[in-house]
Structure 1
Amino acid sequence: MRTGEPLPAMGDVLAALATGLWRYDAAGGLVTLDAEAARLVGLPAEPASLTEAGIRARFHPVDWNEVDGIVQLALAEGTIAEMRMRIMDAHGRVVRTVRSRSKPSIDPHTGAYELVGTLQEVTDPSPSAVRSPVTGDWRRSREAFLLDAGRALAEARSTEEVLRVAAGLAMPGFSPDGLAVFGVEGDRLTVVGHHGHKPGAEGPFTQMLLDTDYPAAEVVRTGRAVYLSSPEEYKARYPVSWPLAAHFGRQSWAFLPLTVSGRTMGAWMAAFKHPVTFTPDERAVLTTVARMLAQALFRAGAAETERELTDGLQRSMLPTLGPRIPGMTVAARYVPTGGGLQVGGDWYDLIQLPGGTSGTNSSGGRFALTIGDVQGHDVRAAGLMGQLRIALRAYAAEGHRPDAVLSRASRFLHGMTHGEDGADLRFATCLYVEVDPATGTLEIARAGHPDPAIRMADGTVLMRPTAGGLPLGIDPDADYPTTRLVLEPGETLLLCTDGLIETGGHDLDTGWRRIRRILEEHQGDMEGLADALVQAVHGPSSHHATGPLTDRREDDIAVVLLCRVAPGCGCEPATEIRQPVRRMMLTIAQAEPERIASARHQLRELLHDWSSEDQVDSAVLLVSEVLTNVLVHTDTDALLVTEVFQDGDGLDGRSGRRVRVEVTDASDDLPHKRRPGELASSGRGLVLVGLLAGAWGVDPRGEGKSTWFELHEEPTKDDSKV
């Protein structure tokens, strides 16, 4: 070509280079070829137009099936679509291999893509090159790798497992030696996990602003992958962040978006010690892995959030066992079902009953144990369980007897679940036990629940049949008879839901025999026994609520153990119950107000050796005020009980004696403090009680109330000098 002559036409130049031009309109299904392109696909060397079916017949079917995936990858990354395609003759034989390079574009109106590119004949690699010891059969290796990777990532149950699987992926022919997963928090990158780097190497990349000149930040901003084939390319494109990456000694990097439902949730970095050109096949593998990784991380994160939420919900609905009960030891376990949400309807509770000292159990006051199971293993069951548990606590706090507590609870649950539409009818089983630690007396009411069992002091275990009624919520007018048992020193009471008995293919009979064997053979404290019961059914525990939980469960489990402590019983030591050293009881009827004077006289006799005469006068005055209050403001009789305790039973743990005075009546009207004027003739009773008593209170009972006060003996002058 002489200087000054015009350049030849582009078509002539391409033809001279044995390169053809072609255009593919996916919307119209039409392919246009110039003469060279037509020759390369086996047609006469002249311009031609073919339908999609016509051009597809010229290519190997395996190669044609990959066209759409390669084009979609190029559209997502904004890069060139490059393909190697085998041309077939009429007899199905490969006559040549061509390389296609095209720039895809999307029609905004139809969403279809259009390709304009070149075709050029290339030398087909020899079979030995295709199946070399390094790469093997590329296509077959890639498909097998992606299947294995997809299966492993799909089975990962936590973020930690997903990262471990990603670190172990061996990509065919170009496995990375350094990986990092970046997340997003607000406007900053976070490092979720990494592999192939020293601990602490992630420091400079954590809390990096998204507008930083760093490949992962760009990927999150744009949603497009970044491929860097050499350190020179990295340094040229990202000069600011290159010093952070330079000291790792890598030669190539791929940063890919982690996208779920159209939202980029982070980025994945694959770094290589050897140069990688990132061919279309390699980019396709990396993109597919990134998509699977994003889905796996999203599932794991959602599962972890769900587990945290449901576990917190269940924990919030279960009680702590509270203060140590004098003379008794309690242990409990709750194990939610392993299927779906880890919440269910099983529960247990320990309830302080009215009549304790200063709201504690320090005087051996009565308490109740309750255990139950609301039908179902879903959020609805958990919600009803929480409401029912609160209702039971309220009825117990009012002082009702066990039969009345369950009757009211059944009416409450029936009203909750039998609405106008009757769409969600639920019932609940329940076992309610009122316990008197001083005597070991158990008052038991049962609503369709498994019977309790008792392990005797010699290890013998017996199921204790108790009278019962229908499950709660079925009949609002159901009755629940009460059974009285005595827990002797050294004996242990077992309460459980049916999940402990029937799990593992057992029925009530075989399951009970298994539980009885564990109770009889166990040697150790109550906590160990509770663990043994759960582990025997479901294996070793994995985490705790109020006790160990396991990972795979057929049904919810709730277990409560109550031991009445005795020497050598193996129970955890508990505070000894203090029995009163003196006790006086007197009934004062409405028609006998003169007996108040007798009550004052008997109280003085009971406290004849009390160290403080002023305290005796105060006690006598307060007894008179409380008794008078009952006779004046109610139409019921009054029962006076006075007890004197010795040694360490006093308020705030002081040693010495303590007197407790309790007046019970059958009226539900609670007394209230008043503010009497100077000339008022009444209204000062509770004011005096509050001023003179060391502690006092009013506790509702099932029928009536109890007003009580306590005084702790003050030391004498000689005692104070010691």
Structure 2
Amino acid sequence: MRTEDVLAAIATGLWRWDNASGTVTLDGEAARLLGLPAEPVVLPEVAVRSRFHPVDWNEINGIVNLAVAEGTLAEARLRIMDEDGRVLRTVRSRSKPRENRTAEGRVDYELIGTIQEIAEPQPGTTAVHTPITGDWRRSREAFLLDAGRALAEARSTSEVLRVAASLSMPGFSPDGLAVFGVAGDRLSIIGHHGHGPGAEAPFTDMGLETDYPATEVVRTGRAIYLPTPEDYKRRFPATWPLAQRFGRESWAFIPLIVAGRTMGAWMAAFKHPVSFSPDERSVLTTVARMLAQALQRAVVAESERELTTGLQRSMMPQLGPEIPGMTIAARYVPTGGGLQVGGDWYDVIPLPSGRFALVIGDVQGHDVRAAGLMGQLRIAVRAYASEGHRPDAVLSRASRFLAGLCSSQEDADGLAGDEDADFLSPRFATCLYVECDPGTGMLEVARAGHPDPAVRMSDGTVLVRPTAGGLPLGIVPDTDYPTTRFALEPGETMMLCTDGLIETGGHDLDTGWARLRAILEADADVDARADVGAGAGSAGAGSGGPGAGHLERLADLLVQAVHGPSSHHTTGPLADRREDDIAVVLLWREHPAPGREGLPPHPARPARRTMLTVAQAEPGRISGVRRQIRELLHDWADPEQVDSAVLMVSEMVTNVLVHTDGDAALLAEAAGERGARRLRVEVADSSDELPHKRQPGEMASSGRGVLLMEMLADTWGVDPRGQGKSTWFELYERSKRDETAEEDDPG
């Protein structure tokens, strides 16, 4: 008897579906089951497709692809329709897909199998395979969407495993999970869930040749489904005792494949029996694909974090030993993309003279090349400083070094394509170099295109200190960098930062400084309250602040203003993406301890002062002088007095630049209790000619300096010096209410 006759006797037909030719071959029984005449026939694919319910047809492609990937049978339930769209019967198809690759590289499939009619379950009965319902399909799609979103958001291997353990699959959630990895020729456990501590021990170092489901999955790249303990024991008798003790009923071992490479295996174990229908296998396989991709992303991210941490540790210096009378705090936060390394840096350099240097800089760019140039430039600056060169000489040499370095790299990379033009273009760097004398607090500053330093005075007033500067490093090899000198008084804090701290978040230079000024002043209020709470004679009061830890807190506050809370040492990658690298260095000069011989006690209300020089060649800096006076008097009671002081200072400095051949050196100091302070401003120059009163005409553009001081100052004068003179004035703080009372006083 022929095989076809035997199958026809049990209402089972044969079919052959050739995807390459687009034809389907049916025997007589298969044709009958499809509602056609009961005779062998070869039909176009579209003619057979029209006989299937559209919803069921949409499931076939996924089932066939799954069977091809796993090397198993493709099994599906199909509803057969007549010409009027009514359901004739339901059939089950079982077929073996074979993959054929053409010479052109195209992949075609051939399905050879059986088709058999099955009875629909009656109400109140249970079928072996329930029909696919719309509710189940919607719940499956919702589950896969949620699972994909959760796994895509996981940022580390542990997070991926937590997400995988929390997945609730529709209708058949596993209670035990394990993820296996491959290290050489050994199997390892990456993580597991649903097992007790130490349960993974027998599986942590298993050879790939071991007769175990996960090792076979890794070797073959095909999934293994074990619906019953008997299936497990029959197929893997050697390792069955390892699995038996967990009391599970069904197991699925699915390969974790990324870019065609099997990177491990995923085990889903069930305490209840699971038949692993095509729909259940489809869900498990889809989750495994997403899990493999999430694990791959996590591994890459963790490798990048490890590399980033190593680079940062090698590039960022330690702050070194304590400096008598001074405290330093620093932070570096990389930009949020890529390897999270960039061109910002800072350094603290001991000098042969016993002083030390603070350096902060920013190499153009946020890529690996910027980080490499930064490392070389930092070493060069440290070498020049350690040789004992002055600040201006250090920056001049560093500029020549960077220009030569970029030029040599450009020559070496001259054969690179156009797509590398931006990466290989010449780079420049901004830099601020400060030489500090711990004993006197004197600072010598050289600046190469970098933001000016800011100083928070003892009473909380914040000033941006204008300093002379030159071009960024590397633009013109032979560039001069003038030096600016000023003193950091006891209790004052200096801040050096890169532009990432100022301009991130849509801020420009002015609004960025305003944001930082508010943070610095608010922190000063906290310190002041801590001093009051500590009481006289306490450690906090004696040191001019609530302990050295206040500088670390301030550094964190400044960084948080840009991207949110950070760790104590902000060198690791952060979750959010920032626009630019951030580097910030804080230097605080302590108050002298009270009672030490030869030193004054800690003042209750320290004076605030500013000093700066305006050179003949820099008349544009007069606007900076006016801004300094306004910042110095930011809380002065009478705004009109502030306007008067700004006008007089502008006139005095301008007179020096116009009527002498030297520079103007300004010293401004505000002292006393708030509401009754005294402002004294001195402008010194090298000329011996004293100012004299003139009577300027209505159209005159000068000659009003002395008249202004007679009208606006409470007192003023000119003091001859050994070489030159000092013109000064004083203003005594008064409120608008005081002025009104004076005007109303009949006396």
Short-chain TM bin: 0.7 to 0.9
- Offset from partner CA, 1:352-383 (integer Å, 9 cap, x none): 2223xxxxxxxxx1111110111111111111
Task: Provide the residue aligned with 1:9 in structure 2.
Answer: 2
In structure 2, the residue matched to 1:715 is none
**Superposition map of 1:67-466 within 5 A:** 67-107=60-100, 109=102, 111-125=107-121, 137-355=135-353, 365-418=354-407, 419-420=410-411, 423-466=424-467
Q: Deviations over 1:109-140 (max 9, x none)?
A: 56422111111112345799899999972222
> Counterparts in 2 of 1:481-630, with a 5 A limit?
481-522=482-523, 523=527, 524=546, 525-542=550-567, 544-545=569-570, 551-567=576-592
Give the Cα separation in 2 of the matches to 1:138 and 1:9: 42
Following the alignment from structure 2 to structure 1, what is the Cα–Cα distance between the partners of residues 470 and 231? 80
Q: 3-state DSSP class of the match of 2:115?
A: strand
Matched-pair contact (CA < 8 Å) for 1:543–1:549 = no
State the AA in 2 paired with 1:15: A
Q: TM-score, normalised by structure 2?
A: 0.71
Query: Matches of 1:390 and 1:380 in 2, distance apart?
Result: 16
User: In structure 2, do the counterparts of structure 1 residues 352 and 133 end up closer, same or farther at CA, with 3 Å as the change threshold?
Assistant: farther
SS in 2 for 1:66: helix
SS at match of 1:96: strand
Runs of 4+, deviation exceeding 6 Å: 126-136, 547-550
Task: Write the letter of the residue equivalent to 2:260.
Answer: G
SS in 1 for 2:490: coil
Deviations 1:465-510 (A, max 9, x none): 1011111122222221110111122221110111112222322222
Q: Compute the displacement of 1:545 (Å).
A: 4.9
- SS of the aligned residue for 1:276 comes to coil
- Paired position in structure 2 for 1:45: 38
**Residues 1:183 and 1:74: Cα distance change in structure 2 (over 3 Å):** same
Q: CA RMSD for the aligned pairs?
A: 2.4
Shift, 1:107, TM fit: 2.9
Cα distance change of structure 1 residues 187 and 547 upon mapping to structure 2, 3 Å threshold: closer
Name the CA distance, whole Å, in 2 between partners of 1:547 and 1:185.
27
What secondary structure is seen at the aligned counterpart in 2 of 1:107? Answer: strand
CA distance in 1, matches of 2:123, 2:222: 35
Residues 538 and 550 in structure 1, CA contact (< 8 A), matched pair in contact too: no
User: What is the distance in 1 between the residues matched to 2:451 and 2:34?
Assistant: 80
Q: Contact between 2:309 and 2:571, CA under 8 Å: does it hold in 1?
A: no
2:162 and 2:568 map into 1 onto residues whose CA distance is 22
Conserved? CA contact 1:29–1:52, under 8 Å? yes
The correspondence of residues 58-69 of structure 1 with structure 2, limited to 5 A, is 58-69=51-62
Distance change in 2, residues 1:192/1:439 (3 Å): same
Aligned equivalents of 2:573, 2:46: Cα separation in 1: 65
Q: Could you tell me which amino acid in structure 1 is paired with residue 256 of structure 2?
A: L
Deviates more, 1:444-453 or 1:302-311: 302-311
Alignment of 1:629-644 (within 5 A): none
Cα pair 1:453 1:464 within 8 Å, conserved:
yes
CA shift at 1:546, angstroms? Answer: 5.8
Give 1:651's aligned residue.
Answer: none
Whether the 8 Å CA contact 1:366–1:436 is kept in 2: the answer is yes
From the superposition, tell whether residues 288 and 127 of structure 1 become closer, same or farther in structure 2 (CA, over 3 Å): farther
Following the alignment from structure 2 to structure 1, what is the Cα–Cα distance between the partners of residues 132 and 351?
77
Does residue 32 in structure 1 map to residue 32 in structure 2?
no
Q: Which amino acid aligns with 1:445?
A: A
Structure 2 vs 1, CA of residues 487 and 546 (structure 1 numbering), >3 Å: closer, same or farther? farther
Structure 1 residue 9 displacement after superposition: 2.0
Does the 8 Å contact 1:19/1:119 carry over to 2?
Answer: yes
Q: Is the 8 A contact 1:311 1:342 kept in 2?
A: no
Q: For residues 279 and 132 of structure 1, what CA distance do their matches in structure 2 show? A: 10
CA distance in 1, matches of 2:2, 2:132: 44
Counterparts of 1:671-690 in structure 2, within 5 Å, are: none
**1:653 aligned residue:** none
Q: How many residues align?
A: 553
The match for 1:718 is none
Q: Kindly indicate whether the alpha-carbon contact (under 8 Å) linking 2:165 and 2:177 is maintained by their aligned counterparts in 1.
A: yes
CA distance in 1, matches of 2:552, 2:140: 54
Partner SS for 1:293? helix
1:314–1:382: 8 Å Cα contact kept in structure 2?
Answer: no
Stretch deviating more after TM superposition (28-37 or 135-144):
135-144
Compare 462-471 and 110-119 and name the one that shifted more: 110-119
Contact 1:153 1:162 in 2 (8 A): yes
Q: 1:549 to 1:75 in 2, by over 3 A?
A: closer
Q: Rate the CA distance shift 1:550–1:155 in 2: closer, same or farther, 3 A.
A: closer
Counterpart secondary structure, 1:322: coil
Q: Deviations over 1:136-170 (max 9, x none)?
A: 72222222222221222122111111111111111
Percent identity of equivalent pairs = 76
Residues 1:290 and 1:550: Cα distance change in structure 2 (over 3 Å): closer
Give the C-alpha shift of residue 438 in structure 1: 2.1
